[in-house]
């Protein structure tokens, strides 16, 4: 719409110049309408043809002013037309070059496949957490919508090897398959797992029977937005206080609390200490919700004070983001 308005403005200015020139010559010279229009056109175009009749002093001054006016408008029109035809291509080429340069140095990033309703929420969360990521989206309109938010996007089919290779899948740490169909998510998971065996893959499951298939294809975890939405709606009716608490710890409430995780380094000062000896809540103002071992998926909820911390365990804590840095300093080497 903006480009259409600009084009109409240029045509209107050119018309106004021709009207001014024609009317001016009709008033200043004894010529017909066609002769006045002819004088205006050859003056504006600067072709150098001879005048129809000799110019008076006033007509010469008018011609000089008309030439300066027309040169300015024609210059503006020419630059606007060049901008109209080449602006998008130049901007896209520059953005593509910049994105390739960033991708060449990108490591341990997340690949988001799909920028639909689910994908946009994933993108928003990754941006808030300041995690490096890139999006693969086949639909040009959806890709353009998130490009405006300065998000790196590859316009391609996420189920293909070429698209995942462009996104640097061999250097990535995680992938989210949030495409519109279970079949596309399945193909994406299969392709991604084959290209990177260590990749953490979370896939969207639309149908109830798709969870097992996605897991067998190579996904680490599956999520059904419909199931989560249904459970949440029922919980709002049956357990509103619980939902209010969950909103608080997921940045939806007024209090800035968050659930987060920290891995214990083998040479950290927390290693081989009991929770009482580590004294984490007093040092960091964080609440330890659970502890997960590296070897299995078993999670110890609300661990006792005599629980002994081990290397590579994951501490799941609740608190403000600013306090998380304190715990990371204690847990790292």
Question: 68-99, pLDDT tens digit by residue?
Answer: 888 888 777 777 766 666 655 666 666 677 77
Report yes or no: 258 and 249 within 8 Å, Cβ to Cβ: yes
Non-local (6+) Cβ contacts of 257 within 8 A are 248, 249, 318, 319, 320
| CB 43, CB 21: distance < 8 Å | yes
Computed over every residue of the chain, the mean pLDDT equals 85
Would you tell me how many other CB atoms lie within 10 Å of the CB of residue 270?
Answer: 23
Residue 227, pLDDT score: 85
Among 296, 267, 283, smallest CA distance to 275 is for: 283
Predicted confidence at residue 199, as pLDDT, reads 95
N- to C-terminal Cα separation, the chain:
57
Residues 6+ apart with CB under 8 A from 312: 263, 264, 266, 294
Q: In this structure, is the dihedral angle defined by the CA atoms of residues 213, 218, 222 and 225, taken in order, positive or negative?
A: negative
Please write the tens of the pLDDT for every residue from 188-216. 999 999 999 999 999 999 988 899 999 99
Strand order in the sheet with 258-263: 258-263, 314-319, 287-292, 299-301
CATH architecture of 107-229: 3-Layer(aba) Sandwich (3.40)
CATH, domain range 240-331: 3.30.70.1450
- Fold for domain 2-101? Helix Hairpins (1.10.287)
Q: Does pLDDT of 329 surpass 80? A: yes
Residue 162: is its pLDDT beyond 90? yes
Q: Do domains 2-101 and 240-331 have the same CATH topology?
A: no
Query: Which pair of structure tokens corresponds to residue 222?
Result: 């599956």
In this predicted structure, the answer to whether residue 236 has a pLDDT above a threshold of 90 is no
The residues spanned by each domain of the chain are 2-101, 107-229, 240-331
Average confidence (pLDDT) over 116-129: 90
């Amino acid at each position: 719409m903006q480009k259409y308005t600009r084009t109409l403005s240029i045509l209107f200015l050119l018309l106004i110049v021709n009207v001014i020139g024609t009317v001016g010559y009709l008033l200043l010279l004894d010529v017909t309408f066609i002769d006045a229009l002819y004088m205006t056109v050859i003056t504006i175009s600067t072709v150098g043809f001879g005048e129809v009749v000799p110019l008076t002093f006033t007509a010469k001054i008018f011609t000089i002013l008309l030439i300066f006016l027309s040169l300015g408008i024609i210059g503006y029109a020419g630059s606007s037309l060049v901008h109209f035809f080449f602006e998008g291509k130049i901007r896209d080429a520059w953005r593509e070059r910049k994105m390739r340069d960033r991708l060449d140095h990108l490591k341990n990033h997340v690949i988001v496949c799909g920028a639909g309703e689910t994908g946009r929420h994933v993108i928003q969360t990754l941006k808030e957490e300041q995690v490096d990521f890139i999006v693969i989206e086949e639909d040009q309109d959806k890709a353009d919508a998130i490009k405006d938010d300065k998000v790196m996007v590859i316009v391609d089919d996420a189920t293909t090897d070429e698209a995942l290779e462009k996104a640097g899948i061999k250097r990535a740490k995680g992938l989210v398959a949030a495409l519109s169909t279970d079949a596309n998510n399945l193909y994406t998971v299969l392709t991604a797992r084959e290209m990177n065996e260590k990749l953490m893959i979370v896939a969207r499951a639309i149908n109830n029977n798709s969870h097992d298939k996605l897991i067998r294809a190579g996904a680490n975890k599956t999520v059904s937005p419909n199931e989560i939405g249904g459970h949440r709606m029922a919980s709002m009716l049956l357990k509103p206080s619980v939902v209010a608490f969950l909103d608080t710890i997921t940045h939806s409430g007024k209090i800035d609390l968050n659930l987060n995780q920290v891995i214990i380094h083998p040479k950290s000062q927390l290693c081989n200490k009991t929770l009482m000896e580590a004294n984490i809540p007093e040092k960091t103002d964080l609440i330890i919700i659970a502890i997960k071992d590296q070897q299995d998926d078993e999670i110890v909820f609300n661990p006792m004070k005599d629980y002994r911390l081990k290397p590579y365990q994951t501490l799941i804590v609740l608190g403000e983001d600013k306090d998380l840095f304190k715990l990371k300093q204690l847990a790292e080497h």
